[in-house]
Amino acid sequence: MKLEKGEISSSQLMFLVGGFIQGSLLTLAFAKDATKHDLWLALIAALMMSLPLALVYITLALKFPGQNLFQINDAVFGPYLGKLVSFQYIMLFLMIVSSNLWFAGDFFLTFFFPETPIIVIMIMFAFICAWGVRAGIEVIARMSIILVLFTILIALTTFILLLNEMKFSNFLPIFDIPIHDFIQGTNIMMAIPFNEVIIFMMVIPYANKMKQVKTSVLYGLMIGGITSLIVVIRNTAVLGPLADIVVSPSMEAVRLIDLGEIIERLEALVGIGLILSMFLKVSVFYYATVLGMAQLLKLRSYVPLVIPVGIIGITLALTNESSIQFTYTAMNTYPIFSLSFYIVLPLISLLIVKIRKLPK
């Protein structure tokens, strides 16, 4: 029995993937310490290197039509080892939900509500995400179209308005950083967000046109990647070395737009766009977490788990001591830790599928 009865179209899947990638626009800053003004090059490299891995995820999903990541794990590794692997993925997804809840809270605290306790902001954000998860993947996918187009519009508008402030000498000299720093920056951006599209192995079974899944996912990756590239180029061209030290390069860059009283509203729109994109990403991970838990617990519905998982996510988020600790983990620990989930296990799964000629 399916826990989710909704269906999504090819275009909705494409925009959902694109919006998911856009949901990490705020976290692009994690790689800037390593890559400096070459962040845009590392972004392109990360996008290109993530495409073959995305094809691995898509191939596995299409080999087992109607089955999600956790069901595929059972088929590939057996019912016991498969569930153990799936449990590890649930822990990973839950960690990502909690991390993004904290990051969203910290962003609002820094730029909009400095006097508000961060737990209040996180509860409000988690509540909105929980509403989306309870509504189902079909509703989230429908919202993604509007959110993606809004984010693209904001990115292009601010890019044009900041043209007079841009100095393309800020990109020079090109590739003057040590190769190990470039590799580190590329690895960070592969881990956040491009390789995280493995989460869509939980969503693909609900696509109504399986033949178009490959195109939808890859196009979505490109939409999210190009939007991210526009934002990175804008921020680097406008801020130069300052982009390496500010909390949010996007917010600082937009503050340089000279439109009188309109500037405050524009800054708020940019902030709203960034948070709405993050809402989409968190909702997808949140949805996959409760869906996976419901499957492992053999429940008839994932809905009873939505609130408890939200509470757990907020509780875990509160264990973050500071922005410095959070950034250090995102830069140094998570990219290495996630390799087994995003690269090793999917490749092993595909190898087993080929050798055993699954599904039989």
CB 102 within 8 A of CB 326: yes
Name the one residue in this structure whose structure tokens are 């909105």. 128
* Residue 245: per-residue pLDDT: 86
Higher-confidence residue: 84 or 322? 84
Cis ω for the linkage preceding 359 (within 30 of 0): yes
- The pLDDT-based confidence of 4 (bands split at 50, 70, 90) is confident
Q: What is the Cα–Cα distance from 81 to 330, expressed in whole angstroms?
A: 29
pLDDT in tens, 157-179: 999 999 999 999 999 999 889 99
* 327 pLDDT higher than 80: no
| CATH code linked to domain 10-341 | 1.20.1740.10
pLDDT in tens, 61-82: 999 999 999 999 999 999 999 9
Name the one residue in this structure whose structure tokens are 């187009």. 149
Residue environment code for 2-27, b if the CB has 16+ CB neighbours within 10 A, otherwise e: eebeeebbbbbbbbbbbbbbbbbbbb
Nearest-5° angle of CA 215, CA 218, CA 219?
80
* Residue 349: per-residue pLDDT: 98
Higher-confidence residue: 305 or 110? 305
**Dihedral sign (CA 148, 251, 268, 165):** negative
Whole-structure pTM over 0.85, yes or no?
yes
CB 346 within 8 A of CB 58: no
Strand partners, 207: 8
* CA dihedral of residues 316, 317, 320, 325 (deg, nearest 10): 110
* Residue 29: per-residue pLDDT: 80
